[in-house]
Homo-oligomer: A and B are copies of this chain.
Amino acid sequence: MRTTIGMLDEQGLARFSMRRLAAELGVTPMSVYWYVDNKDDLLEIALDEIGGEVPVPSDSPDADWRQQVRQVAAGYRAMLVAHPWASRLIGEYMNVGPKATAFSTVMRSIMRRTGLPDEMIPGALSTVYQFTYGFGTVEGRWQERCRAAGVREDDLFEEMSETARDHPGFHGLADLVERRGRASSLAEVRERDFAFSLDCLIAGIEAMRDRAHPGV
């Protein structure tokens, strides 16, 4: 599993194969099948494995759920950025391994402390989760592309800005460029956007809770 995760991190999911894993382990392709049923099985295990990298806050009943949501979201995002192949697999498998299960249990108990009525908890949870997943995914893929092209991300961005200036019809690029605004680096913009989005989600949850309990 260690070599598998290492290879996935370094070369990406597309370049990973059973035969290459076997070669890396100095062994014949078929010997891998003694430890694992098939490729899907192997990847599913690798996926659950890195789920354990996301730090989950201790479940004290008097902790601030807002801060804990921010904490877990940051951890999950970091995990996705460290292992961009994970976001590709998360949708494919059921994700009911031990790490994934533990994670979702903690998330639910945090969400219960928002004061939302029970039937809204799943909706709120998925709002936060889907956002974090999406954000971490595009961030990871972008960095992956930069690494594959062998350039620093701000250089690549600079290059794209020029292309956008030279081809004014190309709005897709213009969006990207505009997004940076006057900030000094892409990383800075990303932090700002991420923080804003979480604030926005938290404010939304608070508003929905207040709407559900008009008397409080």
Contact = CB atoms under 8 A, between A and B. Distances in A.
Chain multiplicity (copies): 2
Interface stretch (A64-72, A99-107, A146-154): A99-107
Interface in A172-186: 172-173, 175, 179, 181
Given A122-B179, A181-B119, A200 B196 contact: no
The secondary structure that dominates the A interface is helix
A138 B201 CA distance: 20
Contact of A91 (B129, B130, B141, B206): B141
Interface in A199-216: 199-208, 211
A66 to B, nearest CB: 13
Interface string A95-126: 11000110011001000000000111011101
A200 B192 contact: no
A131 interface: yes
A113 to B, nearest CB: 16
A171 interface: yes
Nearest to A180: B122
Interface of A: 87-88, 91-92, 94-96, 100-101, 104-105, 108, 118-120, 122-124, 126-127, 129-131, 133-135, 137-138, 141, 170-173, 175, 179, 181, 189, 192-194, 196-197, 199-208, 211
